[in-house]
């Protein structure tokens, strides 16, 4: 990848213009990213290292927990849902082991600062949560109920910890998930601290992007962060050491990409590794990758009506993340690929229909009957209902184009549309590494733009939840195969347009 590679102005200019056109109505957003300087600050670079896919627990054990165990100066851990689970047990044990290791070495002479932030910890917590932007700080006496180590055990290892939650009624959760280690490296997963056996993804990256994420973290969570450059190079070989510690098997595949599958995956004898959803791939980019940090501030949406959400505010807030997705869809030339747990945001469907009308091919992978109660509460509809409307409108578009035979009209044939539900492999259903649903969030346009992060293509993510997205410009992206190989084996066809 060339050192001079930059984000194309064909994307950046309309994205900026869209945000600035909504500057006045978004003046109260917190954090606010609608001035020209604030928008420019989101443009950066990063060095993506690895992309993990698998169940949430496998991502914790293979990526996040080893990262926490490697920390020397700071750990910033943010998630949405916080629940009793093997992942939470792993966090507790890793912090205790880290404190014990530090207590036996000179590292106790320097403090390791840990900040943990979450949004949802049961119905009672949300119903009575403070509306103050400072949130709720949990004293050490309540850490045990949260499944965390006690203060004394951590202090023996020179670890100081702060635990906080943020939630704004009625439905505004802090939905981002990320881990920042030593202000030098970040892991951005799609999974929560939860027991769900869902298909998830996690990107590991470093570079200038970390400073954008740290600034966001300090503004939202009020955490103390060191914005200076890291003082050591301990992380350069971290990925390789983590792989070695896990007993991972690495190799180069037929396309020249470095892949990794865990030798400790719970596979039965005779199963092939490539059937497991637990996979990891190393990015081949050798230079800093053009990257845009895309936060989406939370909104309480005062016009939201609990039992009639379809009468609520018709247009979603034009956040940096929403604006980027709409710009990507509007400027797509060849293909759009979406992977989302559910699809209930009608602006997304309208944008996809418009792209299809220009001849752009669209593929959607989503879930059947996933979080239905949540969909009904936040959107007043479900993914299956929205998909039926989507297909009907697409078929009507194709019919209109077929009926218009005016040779002077020069109408472009609509693009092909494919829609799949996630379906787990029946012969692996009892294995712990086989996901039941897909919770991965990914948008890829024209094989060049890759969006990862926390945002779903649903009403909650587009209207009320706080989200973050990371948009990479990666021409010739081949790392897509790591999730495509998993999902293509676990696909139930919903709709496929006929060849024309």
Q: How confident is the model at residue 406 (pLDDT cuts 50, 70, 90)?
A: low
The CA distance from 251 to 63, in Å, is 18
What pLDDT shows up at residue 423?
96
How large is the average pLDDT for residues 413-429? 96
Q: Residues of 480-493 as b/e, b for ≥16 C-beta within 10 angstroms?
A: bbbbebbbeebeee
Q: What is residue 124's predicted lDDT score, i.e. its pLDDT?
A: 63
* Mean local confidence (pLDDT), 40-44: 95
Residues of the chain with pLDDT > 90, as a percent, come to 65
Residues 209, 468: Cα–Cα separation, whole Å: 13
d(CA 132, CA 137): 11
3-state secondary structure of 240: helix
C-alpha to C-alpha distances, 48 to 209, 258, 422, nearest whole angstrom: 10, 13, 27
Query: Which position has the token pair 């347009």?
Result: 497
pLDDT band of 260, cuts 50, 70, 90: low
Is residue 397 classed exposed, middle or buried when 0-12, 13-18 and 19+ CB atoms within 10 A define those classes? Answer: middle
Q: Among all chains, which residue has been given the structure tokens 């932030």?
A: 117
Residue 500, pLDDT score: 52
Task: Please report which confidence band the pLDDT of residue 411 belongs to, taking 50, 70 and 90 as the band edges.
Answer: confident
Least confident of 108-112, 261-265, 323-327, 437-441: 261-265
Buried b (16+ CB within 10 A) or exposed e, 436-475: bbbbbbbbbbbebbbbbbbbbbbbbbbbbbbbbbbbbbbe
Predicted pLDDT at 265:
36
User: What is the mean pLDDT of the segment spanning 109-122?
Assistant: 90
Burial call 294-303: b when 16+ CB within 10 Å, e when fewer? bbbbbbebee
Q: Domains in the chain, start-ordered, CATH in brackets? A: 292-496 (3.30.870.10)
Alpha-carbon gap, residue 436 to 433, rounded angstroms: 9
pLDDT at 405: 60
Question: Given this model, what pLDDT does residue 258 score?
Answer: 47
Contact in structure between 340 and 366 (CB atoms under 8 Å): yes
pTM of the prediction?
0.88
Q: Which of 303 and 475 is assigned the larger pLDDT?
A: 475
DSSP class of 62: I
Token pair 């989101």 in the structure block, residue = 42
* Mean pLDDT, rounded, for 73-77: 97
More confident residue, 243 or 421: 421
Q: Which tens digit of pLDDT belongs to each residue from 352-389?
A: 999 999 999 999 999 998 877 776 777 778 899 999 99
303-307, 322-326, 493-497: least confident range: 303-307
pLDDT average, residue stretch 446-450: 96
């Amino acid at each position: 990848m060339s050192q001079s590679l930059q984000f194309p102005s064909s994307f950046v200019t309309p994205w900026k213009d869209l945000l600035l056109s909504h500057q006045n109505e978004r003046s109260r957003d917190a954090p606010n990213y609608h001035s020209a300087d604030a928008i420019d600050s989101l443009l950066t670079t990063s060095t993506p290292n690895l992309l993990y896919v698998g169940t949430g627990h496998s991502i914790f054990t293979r990526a996040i927990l080893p990262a926490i165990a490697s920390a020397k100066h700071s750990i910033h851990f943010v998630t949405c849902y916080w629940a009793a689970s093997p992942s939470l047990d792993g966090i507790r044990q890793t912090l205790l082991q880290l404190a014990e290791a530090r207590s036996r070495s000179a590292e106790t002479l320097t403090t390791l600062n840990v900040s943990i932030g979450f949004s949802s910890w049961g119905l009672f917590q949300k119903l009575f949560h403070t509306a103050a932007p400072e949130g709720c700080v949990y004293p050490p006496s309540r850490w045990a109920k949260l499944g965390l180590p006690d203060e004394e055990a951590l202090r023996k290892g020179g670890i100081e910890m702060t635990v906080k939650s943020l939630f704004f009624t009625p439905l505004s959760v802090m939905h981002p998930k990320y881990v920042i280690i030593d202000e030098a490296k970040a892991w951005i997963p799609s999974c929560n601290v939860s027991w769900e056996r869902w298909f998830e993804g996690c990107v590991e990256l470093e570079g200038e992007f970390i400073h954008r994420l740290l600034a966001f973290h300090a503004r939202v969570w009020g955490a103390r962060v060191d914005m200076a450059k890291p003082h050591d190079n301990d992380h350069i070989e971290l990925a390789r050491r983590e792989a070695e510690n896990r007993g991972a098997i690495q190799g180069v595949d037929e396309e020249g990409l470095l892949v990794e599958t865990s030798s400790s995956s719970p596979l039965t004898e005779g199963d092939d590794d490539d059937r497991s959803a637990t996979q990891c791939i190393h990015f081949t980019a050798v230079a800093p990758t053009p990257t845009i940090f895309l936060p989406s501030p939370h909104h309480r949406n005062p016009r939201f009506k609990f039992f009639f959400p379809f009468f609520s505010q018709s247009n979603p807030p034009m956040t940096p993340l929403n604006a980027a997705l709409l710009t990507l869809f509007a400027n797509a030339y060849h293909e759009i690929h979406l992977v989302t747990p559910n699809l209930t945001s009608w602006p997304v469907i309208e944008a996809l229909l418009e792209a299809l009308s220009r001849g752009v091919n669209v593929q959607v992978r989503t879930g059947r009957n996933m979080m239905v109660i949540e969909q009904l509460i936040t959107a007043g509809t479900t993914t299956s209902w929205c998909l039926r409307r989507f297909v009907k409108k697409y078929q009507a578009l194709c019919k209109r184009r077929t009926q218009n035979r005016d040779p002077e009209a020069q109408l472009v044939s609509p693009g092909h549309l494919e829609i799949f539900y996630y379906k787990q492999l029946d012969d692996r259903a009892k294995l712990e590494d086989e996901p039941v649903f897909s919770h991965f969030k990914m948008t890829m346009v024209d094989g060049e733009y890759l969006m990862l992060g926390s945002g779903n293509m649903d009403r909650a993510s587009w209207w009320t939840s706080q989200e973050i997205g990371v948009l990479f410009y990666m021409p010739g992206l081949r790392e897509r195969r790591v999730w495509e190989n998993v999902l293509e084996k676990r696909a139930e066809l919903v709709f496929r347009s006929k060849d024309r």
